[in-house]
Amino acid sequence: MTAPDGQPLDVLVVGAGPTGLAAALIAHDHGAHVRIVDRRPDAPRFSRAFLVQPRTLEVLRPHGVTDELLALGDSNPQVHLHLRRRCVPVDVGEIRLPDTAFPNFLLVRQADVEAVLRRALRGRGVEVEWETQCESFRAVDGVVCDVTHQGIRRHIAARFLVGCDGSTSTVRATAGISWDGSVYPHEILLADIELEGDVQTGVTHVAVHRDGLLFLLPLGETARWRVLTAQPPNRAQAQTDRQHLQKILDRADVHARITRIAWSERVRVQHRVASRYRCGPVFLAGDAAHAFSPAGGQGMNTGIQDSADLGWKLAFAARLRPDGDAALLRSYAEERRRAAQQVLLLTHVLFWAEAGRGRVPSLLRGAFSSTGAPLVPVLLRRRRLVAHAVRVLAQLRRHYRRGPLSVEGSGDSGVAAPAGERIPDEEVAVDGGRQRLHDLIATPAVHVLLHRDTQWGMPPAPDGRLRVHRIRSWSGTGIVIVRPDGYVGFRSGSDTQGAAEWLELVGASPARST
């Protein structure tokens, strides 16, 4: 059970997509020895996702990758909504959410997200082991994974294995976990194209028409534009010809002529959630655990957020006795499977509206495209409504209030976010002056936030796993413990005993420091 540096291996990650890379990075930053393998020969592949949500940026921030992501993407995307002959500009950048350091969606290629995560891992001495395919595993004193590399079979032993191997997951199949749900009767057509005509460059175009929505993103990888739209399945044709794609653009009232198709692909999409997320020391995350329609841009984001939930728990559990990690590890499946079910429902409804072939969604889209233009600015002026919708899409409303790690101690802490909710960003006063709360907790650790007058005898953990901050602007007494993924784990008035028990529960007690 060793890592390349001879240390015992805590976590083996199978799959170097965005979920696996994030899982490896986060577990590493919390002190785990990790390896990550992928069956692909190397990194390059075409992007599918283009939207990174504020919550995803929040969970990645302690791992030092968000500046690079922001530099590669567009956090002030301009969208032109095409409704028949009318074009309605929508300034997405205007939707500035108040209680987060990332007030907007980020438009960025999945390939760039993966490259940033790989670079971060490389900077920590962890390289993806390409051309290494997981064949199966056995749970023996941890887990032993059988892999093949260039035709040679090998075994990798680890305390935990995380299957981030996508929707056709070998890990899920080997664990005998059923893949509940079904395939949509649509394909998503993706193509990189060059256009001539009346299409403003540098802007995302969304055309609404009776047949469905068509997205034209200024983020092509082999040509200027990436087009994305749901279509009936076309088994005869894996590639898309120019004439066919031109017809789709014309029907969507996009007034431009395709001059070149550089690349195209059709992908089937599914709606499924794995029946279990865990089988002993083996966990599923990302598309291996759930598959959604692309509507609302949730798949990659949910996968990275799975990893933010699981990464620190595995690292902390690796330091606990095998029988001492029960609640910590159980909480992953309880929190994230429920989250996936909620996302599934959301993306199902959005996909019905976006691409449903029945009479009702077609009529709704038809009516919106012919009469919706004057309504859009009116709707956008309803700030609270827009903010609510954006927060749902951005996964900022996710909570684990009923989870086994969400504990309300005795007394009222006076802090608005209860145990299980994400701690909102705000300006606070600390010893060094005024600071944003999310800046203060942007390091990979459990953060104890003490109100001004709280008595606290526990020392910070020497390994940095536990950090203690006194918030001068929070009057009276109160203790709030924030998990490494930004959710409140424990909240109370002055229940230091309860706080100590919570830290013990998750393996963050200073007494456990190595």
Ligand X SMILES: Cc1cc2nc3c(=O)[nH]c(=O)nc-3n(C[C@H](O)[C@H](O)[C@H](O)COP(=O)(O)OP(=O)(O)OC[C@H]3O[C@@H](n4cnc5c(N)ncnc54)[C@H](O)[C@@H]3O)c2cc1C
Task: List residues binding ligand X (CB under 6 A).
Answer: 14-20, 37-40, 48-51, 110, 133-134, 164-166, 170, 188, 190, 228, 267, 269, 286-287, 294, 297-301, 303
- Give me the least distance between CB of 300 and ligand X, in Å please: 3
Nearer to ligand X (CB atom), residue 73 or residue 489: 73
Question: Which are the contacts of 422, defined by CB distance < 8 A and separation ≥ 6?
Answer: 55, 58, 396, 398, 399, 486, 487, 488
Nearest residue to 196 via CA among 223, 170, 177, 214:
223
Q: Where are the beta strands (DSSP E) in 8-150?
A: 11-14, 34-37, 51-52, 78-83, 86-91, 106-107, 128-129, 132-138, 143-149
Length of the chain: 514
- Give me the least distance between CB of 47 and ligand X, in Å please: 8
Token pair, residue 367, equals: 């009516």
Secondary structure (DSSP) of 468-490: EEEETTS-S--EEEE-TTSBEEE
Which H or E element spans position 188? strand 179-197
Token pair, residue 357, equals: 């072939």
Starting at the edge strand found earlier in the chain, the sheet holding 278-279 runs 128-129, 34-37, 11-14, 160-163, 282-284, 278-279
- Give me the least distance between CB of 128 and ligand X, in Å please: 9
- Give me the least distance between CB of 20 and ligand X, in Å please: 5
Nearer to ligand X (CB atom), residue 300 or residue 508: 300
Nearer to ligand X (CB atom), residue 393 or residue 415: 393
Nearer to ligand X (CB atom), residue 40 or residue 86: 40
Cα 263 to Cα 113, 222, 240, 379: the distances in Å are 21, 7, 9, 37
Nearer to ligand X (CB atom), residue 269 or residue 446: 269
Residue 168 CA to residue 186 CA, distance in Å, equals: 18
Radius of gyration of the chain (CA): 24
- Give me the least distance between CB of 6 and ligand X, in Å please: 24
- Give me the least distance between CB of 117 and ligand X, in Å please: 10
- Give me the least distance between CB of 329 and ligand X, in Å please: 20
Handedness of CA 398, 400, 402, 408 (dihedral sign): negative
What pairing do the DSSP bridges indicate for beta strands 11-14 and 160-163?
Answer: parallel
Phi-psi group of 146: left, alpha or beta (phi > 0 → left; psi -120 to 50 → alpha; rest → beta):
beta
Nearer to ligand X (CB atom), residue 343 or residue 488: 343
- Give me the least distance between CB of 167 and ligand X, in Å please: 6
Nearer to ligand X (CB atom), residue 111 or residue 499: 111
Nearer to ligand X (CB atom), residue 15 or residue 478: 15
Nearer to ligand X (CB atom), residue 38 or residue 495: 38
Nearest residue to 252 via CA among 365, 95, 410, 99:
365
Nearer to ligand X (CB atom), residue 66 or residue 110: 110
- Give me the least distance between CB of 16 and ligand X, in Å please: 5
CA angle 156, 512, 334 (to 5 degrees): 65
- Give me the least distance between CB of 319 and ligand X, in Å please: 26
Question: Which are the contacts of 502, defined by CB distance < 8 A and separation ≥ 6?
Answer: 405, 407, 409, 481, 489, 490
Nearer to ligand X (CB atom), residue 144 or residue 320: 144
- Give me the least distance between CB of 417 and ligand X, in Å please: 25
- Could you tell me if 213 and 229 are in contact, meaning their C-beta atoms sit under 8 angstroms apart? yes
Tell me 256's DSSP state: E
Nearer to ligand X (CB atom), residue 163 or residue 409: 163
Residue 45 CA to residue 247 CA, distance in Å, equals: 28
- Give me the least distance between CB of 299 and ligand X, in Å please: 2
Q: What share of the chain is helix, strand, coil (3-state, %, to 5)?
A: 30, 30, 40
Residue 161 CA to residue 394 CA, distance in Å, equals: 29
